[in-house]
Chains A and B, each alone.
Chain A
Amino acid sequence: MIEKKLDELQHLSEYRDLVATRRRIIWPLAILMLLVYYAYILVIAFKPELFAAKIGEGHTTFGIVIGLGLIFFSFLLTGIYVHKANTKLEPLTKKLLEKTGDL
């Protein structure tokens, strides 16, 4: 029963729309997250002195600002995805399920 429904679903243009939109949202964000994090890790591994540089007169270093920035960035990234999921993916899923009568 469910197999039949899933089989019908995959041929609908709405399904292809949903999958393509989701792909366009998740993969760039995931790759961005990996790039940013591994850039951070590689600086620590190869050029830690970059992070030891002072930002101003005081003790605060680039490493601290970038490290805390990375925490904000991770949170921001999840926020961006949730926003896009609600505004773009949700309506597409709804449209698809309406068409197959699964609501």
Chain B
Amino acid sequence: MTGDFNVTAVSMFGLFVTFTLLITWWAAKRMTGTKSFYSAGGNITGFQNGLAIAGDYMSAASFLGISGLVFSAGYDGLIYSIGFLVGWPIILLLIAEPLRNLGKHTFADVASYRLRQKPTRILAALGTLATVALYLIAQMVGSGQLIKVLFGLDYTYAVVSVGILMMVYVTFGGMIATTWVQIIKACLLLFGATLLALLVLAHFNFSIESLFDAAVNIHAHGEAIMAPGGLVSDPVSAISLGLALMFGTAGLPHILMRFFTVPDAKQAHRSVFYATGFIGYFYILTFIIGFGAIALLLSNPEFLDADGKLNGGTNMAAIHLSSALGGDMMLGFISAVAFATILAVVSGLTLAGASAISHDLYASVLKKGQADEKTEMKVSRYATIVLGIMAILLGILFEKQNVAFMVGLAFAIAASANFPILFLSMYWKNLTTRGAVIGGSLGLLTAVVLVILSPVVWVDVLGYPEAIFPYKYPALFSMSVAFIGTWFFSVTDKSDSAKKEREAFTLQYVRGQTGVGAETASGH
């Protein structure tokens, strides 16, 4: 379906675009070199970065997707929210500070700190680009469909305009613009979701119990929506999903990059504290919004099609709810917020992908760290444009495809390739280049192959009657393969370079712990 033209939505969104373009223009004047392009010059405070991290994490997929999941399955939506959140304390405790102390612009800086640059960086860049591409396609397709419904704009135009705006932000404003766009969007989204949840609660006189009562009475599953149900049914799937969500978060390149935008390790850990607070609060809101949607939409034929299903699919639950509770004004506002969310998230992803190409592949591998700054900037801008055009084309190509598996696969790759090499490089003395490259590649390969053979691709996309690999989530297997492979090929590595790499661990550890020698905000 194509939606009607909503004046509030279009003017709200117009305001957002104008304002963010002004910020991009302001940021472009401050773009002094690669350090401002990749990490905003290291000048972002912990609080600002906390908001930006939360913004990267609260994508349209989690706002509309999780409230939609609560709408259709009740409690099971909460299982996802919790899984997405519990990765944060782990990042804070084990990753944030050594990452900030050892790295410069990308997580590959840390992984390759004492290993051979070329193979390690190529693998890390591959892991980054795979994660970014899958995430980006899922967001582009989602955005095209959403904008079609919300603004009545044709799918192709929608995808092209998202792609062009994102290229403008990133190419001209780099990390400075991307961070501020993300901060503004995070505030808008938190405000919008708070308002929506308050309207739901007000409708039930601020009694959670009467909200639950109304939802249970109208939902087809009745009382079952108050407890875990069919979404995660067998133990292997439950554990595997838990692993992917928890450790995938710790391997998402666009999130890890944010730790280099703050001046030091202290601000890095403060940012995670704020981010966890915002994200946790946001998930509680989506839970209320999802239940509100059950209680208020299922009783209203205006929002349902002939079969009693929600117009435009369950992902539209939050959008329809805003219209049911606050009329055209609220619908317009929430729609504009959803659009802003997509724009901000795709910008962050594209920047991470472009950095992998220009910083890791071009400057570190091809030019062996001797790249001229001006040329590297040019490469990163070209990379942004190429990624943007690819995102647009793939977004159009995948319009009619089922892309639901893509975010799951992105998390699986992040958990099975990026996270193991990053974590082991920081904490395991015996890691060698051979172990990291073989183990990381095996993890990546296993994740991709198992997802293709699993029900989400083999049955849902390729149309075969039965899946070869029975589980929807591969992380339990692919992470095991990655860790065992890395361990085995490291300990059996008797080469001279392996010996040197092991010896270099001690001083790397001292730097990771103390921050002596770490990149500073002033730049070099």
CB within 8 Å of B: which residues of A?
2-3, 5-7, 9-10, 15, 18-19, 22, 26, 29-30, 33-34, 37-38, 40-42, 44-46, 48-49, 51-52, 58-61, 63-64, 67-68, 70-72, 74-75, 77-79, 81-82, 85-86, 90, 93, 96-97, 100, 102
**B329 CB to nearest chain A CB (Å):** 30
> Contact between A45 and B270 (Cβ–Cβ < 8 Å)?
no
Given contacts A45-B232, A96-B514, 16 further A-B contacts (CB under 8 A): A5-B516, A15-B513, A29-B89, A30-B89, A30-B94, A41-B241, A45-B237, A51-B228, A59-B209, A60-B208, A61-B75, A67-B79, A74-B88, A81-B89, A81-B93, A85-B266
User: Which secondary structure dominates where chain A touches chain B?
Assistant: helix
Interface centre among A29, A58, A60 (most CB of B within 10 A): A58
Residues of A within 8 A of B4 (CB): none
> Contact between A71 and B85 (Cβ–Cβ < 8 Å)?
yes
* Known contacts A2-B516, A15-B514, A33-B86: A41-B242 contact under CB 8 Å: yes
> Contact between A74 and B269 (Cβ–Cβ < 8 Å)?
no
Residues of A within 8 A of B86 (CB): 33, 37, 70, 74
Residues of A within 8 A of B227 (CB): 48-49, 51-52, 61, 63
Q: Indicate whether B507 reaches chain A with its CB closer than 8 angstroms.
A: yes
Interface centre among A40, A72, A90 (most CB of B within 10 A): A40
CB within 8 Å of A: which residues of B?
75, 78-79, 81-82, 85-86, 88-90, 92-94, 208-209, 212-213, 216, 223-224, 226-229, 232, 234-235, 237-239, 241-242, 246, 266, 269-270, 272-273, 276-277, 280, 283-284, 287, 506-507, 510-511, 513-517
Bound-state CA distance A59–B513 (Å) is 49
Bound-state CA distance A37–B86 (Å) is 7
Bound-state CA distance A40–B515 (Å) is 36
Residues of A within 8 A of B276 (CB): 74-75, 78
> Contact between A82 and B238 (Cβ–Cβ < 8 Å)?
no
> Contact between B213 and A37 (Cβ–Cβ < 8 Å)?
no
Bound-state CA distance A40–B208 (Å) is 23
> Contact between B517 and A60 (Cβ–Cβ < 8 Å)?
no
Using CB atoms, name the residue of chain A closest to B213: A59
